[in-house]
Structure 1
């Protein structure tokens, strides 16, 4: 027991010396005197995929087991919920700028050790584990990373108090040595590498001898996915390109001309959609005839849930009519009369000359 007491005293003296010198947590066994650590949250995703609508959360818990470290006593964290305060990161804005990126960050996440609560706690290292709370956003892979948060408690006069902090990955493959400057958590949302993920592609064609090839036609498209899911969409015309973010169940309103397309990105096999062309004033088409005389033919989607192919909808507007020929027909009798008149006139003048 005397030998153990000497080791403990030596360890305590070492902790106090480190604290006094303000040593930074460069080495795995060196405590840090800062009491907050950033949560670094990264979401990797496909280009043209909306940011997942998720409030990322983190949990502080006790480790399953602890063992003395270099003869320094190790304790399970007493009250994880109150000893350490977690500020969850802010979800990135779901907008067209972020949709264009392949990696976005959720910022503002932090853990703060409430050092004052450690007064009176046993001397040694008090360990906690920080991990991500897994949600249920469809197609989002949550991080499995875990970090040990070690709070060093040493003797100071007649009281005990927290004197240092160390953060290390639970699994060394997820980081290098001490990570007291931040905890890295990465979520994967690369939906289009999944064989069950598709895009919706709506194609417009215009035909007919009375069709206006420069005319634009309005569409209302609705994609319904998981609760809170969002979809990035864009049209193909470079001159008047339209784009935006549509939440599940909302209406995408856009215009398409001949050989133009609407693409909605990142549909999973459980998502549903409807595509409807409207009249120029936005009213519903009656039957298959627009108010300006086009006959609309729309294919149902060619979407096969597990094929890895896109969902496609082809919409054709045709305005074909008979070329007017009534003027020629109505003039024919008069042309005949004129011809007969000419014959009679010729005979009359010929007879006149003979007389």
Structure 2
């Protein structure tokens, strides 16, 4: 960050000092020794993203072309002469054997910005602040726990060109926009002015590149030669891009009086259309990182991240119990996904399977009940795919009902036996009592 301020400030100060030096009106074709272009021009590329996302593997390209000359007129008094960056009479090749045209050399002069998952990041968002007096933009950051950014320095090397006249040579810098869905591109145009001044001594005619200034917008006016802040637009040498990403959550729930709440179920997630080398973090805060053999699963470990090694597809397999979930974070906007539960195992064990999708429901195909598969052709919001397995068992009440008449008959028979047994016992008791009474009377 400090390098950015120092670099841009130095360019501005150098140009401002140079602007106070009068330029001699030297005709084209003079005997100046051609001055090689500078290889020390730097601008910056910032990439903002969600705090939970990994830095994507992405390369940004830029296009540098010659700008237009600004004609000198009486009305332009007090202005520096501006020449096209490929002016045929004033701009040449440093190497006469170079087979490229001047325009091709200019196009090749700008570098690229390549980001990778291993890049360091800073928490917060990037903001441009303009000084009202100098029109110099500085980069500041705002606190934002939900965001972070990475940045790269990009060079412009004009050393394969030569300049043979004093003046300001103008170039136009833009970012190439290939239309990647997960990137918001910076479509601003930058104007780069290269200051070439007379540095002759008493013994030789000599040119010198004294500074460069980069402006916002495509400038059509010439800068002032007064040494004060000129009337052109904001001085700015930074492009800011955003990486758009979303989270995909998969959850598991088991219902029914026969459903196992401690059994693990297998899920496979396939992401298609990702950039090779991208790394995606998997949040296991609501799942087990390691698990033991249980039900239909062997002991294993759930991955905490996945990456592409080749091609544009990532596959991850994870296991969940009822009430658990995992989240794959920072998936590129527009990436297609397929989530599959191992339905063969689930159905073999008597489970019915269904899934509900919330978040991005556009272009979703939900075949969970028949195949265990839920898919989307392009992720465009944070999304949850919630799987529910149900297994019910019915108590065999019919068997109990069929035994009821038998039980009733048995009870009646037993009651009858008891009744007659008691009656017979009483009868015998009475008979015995009567016999004893007769014997007593005879005596």
- Give the shorter-chain TM-score range: 0.5 to 0.7
Instruction: Please tell me whether residue 313 in structure 1 is matched to residue 321 in structure 2.
Output: no
Tell me, what secondary structure is at the counterpart of 1:55? strand
Instruction: Please tell me whether residue 36 in structure 1 is matched to residue 40 in structure 2.
Output: yes
Q: Note closer, same or farther for the CA distance 1:165–1:96 as it changes in structure 2 (3 Å cut).
A: closer
Tell me, what secondary structure is at the counterpart of 1:213? coil
Q: TM-score, normalised by structure 2?
A: 0.53
Alignment RMSD: 5.0
Instruction: Please tell me whether residue 112 in structure 1 is matched to residue 162 in structure 2.
Output: no
Please tell me whether the aligned partners of residues 117 and 279 of structure 2 are also in contact (alpha carbons under 8 angstroms). Answer: no
* 1:61 Cα offset (Å): 1.2
* 1:275 Cα offset (Å): 1.8
The equivalent of 2:227 in structure 1 is: none
* 1:36 Cα offset (Å): 1.2
2:354 corresponds, among 269, 283, 297, to: 297
User: Distance in 2 between the 1:162 and 1:80 partners?
Assistant: 22
Please tell me whether the aligned partners of residues 14 and 211 of structure 2 are also in contact (alpha carbons under 8 angstroms). Answer: no
Deviations 1:323-344 (A, max 9, x none): 5899999xx99xx89x97xx89
Instruction: Please tell me whether residue 220 in structure 1 is matched to residue 207 in structure 2.
Output: no
Of 60-69 and 87-96, the range deviating more from structure 2: 87-96
The equivalent of 1:252 in structure 2 is: 316
Instruction: Please tell me whether residue 184 in structure 1 is matched to residue 242 in structure 2.
Output: no
* 1:225 Cα offset (Å): 4.0
The equivalent of 2:198 in structure 1 is: 154
* 1:202 Cα offset (Å): 3.1
Please tell me whether the aligned partners of residues 27 and 178 of structure 1 are also in contact (alpha carbons under 8 angstroms). Answer: no
The equivalent of 2:58 in structure 1 is: 54
Please tell me whether the aligned partners of residues 259 and 391 of structure 2 are also in contact (alpha carbons under 8 angstroms). Answer: yes
Deviations 1:158-212 (A, max 9, x none): 4543332212214399x98656xxx3111123457xxxxxx54433211122322
Deviations 1:292-317 (A, max 9, x none): 443323357781369x8765533212
Q: Note closer, same or farther for the CA distance 1:93–1:237 as it changes in structure 2 (3 Å cut).
A: closer
2:209 corresponds, among 163, 182, 185, to: 163
User: Distance in 1 between the 2:192 and 2:166 partners?
Assistant: 18
Q: Note closer, same or farther for the CA distance 1:246–1:125 as it changes in structure 2 (3 Å cut).
A: same
* 1:95 Cα offset (Å): 8.9
The equivalent of 1:89 in structure 2 is: 113
The equivalent of 2:67 in structure 1 is: 63
* 1:108 Cα offset (Å): 4.4
The equivalent of 1:121 in structure 2 is: 164
Please tell me whether the aligned partners of residues 231 and 266 of structure 1 are also in contact (alpha carbons under 8 angstroms). Answer: no
Q: Note closer, same or farther for the CA distance 1:187–1:74 as it changes in structure 2 (3 Å cut).
A: same
User: Distance in 2 between the 1:95 and 1:206 partners?
Assistant: 41
**Which blocks of at least 5 consecutive residues in structure 1 are unaligned?**
1-22, 193-198, 279-283
Whichever of the two has the greater Rg, that structure is: 2
Of 162-171 and 81-90, the range deviating more from structure 2: 81-90
Q: Note closer, same or farther for the CA distance 1:298–1:29 as it changes in structure 2 (3 Å cut).
A: same
Tell me, what secondary structure is at the counterpart of 2:58? coil
Aligned length: 311
2:253 corresponds, among 163, 183, 205, to: 205
Tell me, what secondary structure is at the counterpart of 2:114? coil
The equivalent of 2:344 in structure 1 is: 285
Q: TM-score, normalised by structure 1?
A: 0.64
Q: Note closer, same or farther for the CA distance 1:45–1:132 as it changes in structure 2 (3 Å cut).
A: same
